[in-house]
Amino acid sequence: MAYPWVAGQKVADGIWKAVVPFNKHFNETGLYYNDVWVDGTYFGGSQTVVRRNTVRIPEKVSLKDGSYDIIVEGIPENINKLTFYTWTEANGQDDLRQSGGQKLDSNTWKITIPFNEHNN
């Protein structure tokens, strides 16, 4: 097996970074081990837990509630816009709506889906 080595890139004096492409690791989640080698000598290592994004939606809602919220966690901090597409099963996508999410914190977004925009 060939190891998916990643070359570091110098960011500033004494600071280096490496980007680990998940597709080189079968897009697996869980514990990743990160070893750092400098000029052929082991320098140190770390461990990183990789999780998929978490989408939280209510299991059941009532029309009398008027709406429901979707919460998405695990979005990278540098994302400035998140778009949600919502429609009902009835009549295909005749009630398709594209809406922007609201950033709650550095990696959590929310959108409220009002039923009146989807033919109730």
Distance CA 47, CA 96 (A): 42
With b for 16 or more beta-carbon neighbours within 10 A and e for fewer, the 38-55 pattern comes to eeeeeeeeeeeeeeeeee
What is the spatial distance between Cα 79 and Cα 85, in angstroms, rounded to a whole number? 17
Is the C-alpha dihedral spanning 6, 8, 11, 14 positive or negative?
positive
Single pTM value for the model: 0.55
pLDDT over threshold 70, residue 1: no
pLDDT for res 6:
87
Confidence of residue 58 (pLDDT cuts 50, 70, 90): confident
* Whole-number average pLDDT of the chain: 88
- Distance between CA 46 and CA 24 in Å, rounded? 19
List, for residues 86-111, the tens digit of each pLDDT value.
Answer: 999 999 899 999 989 899 998 899 99
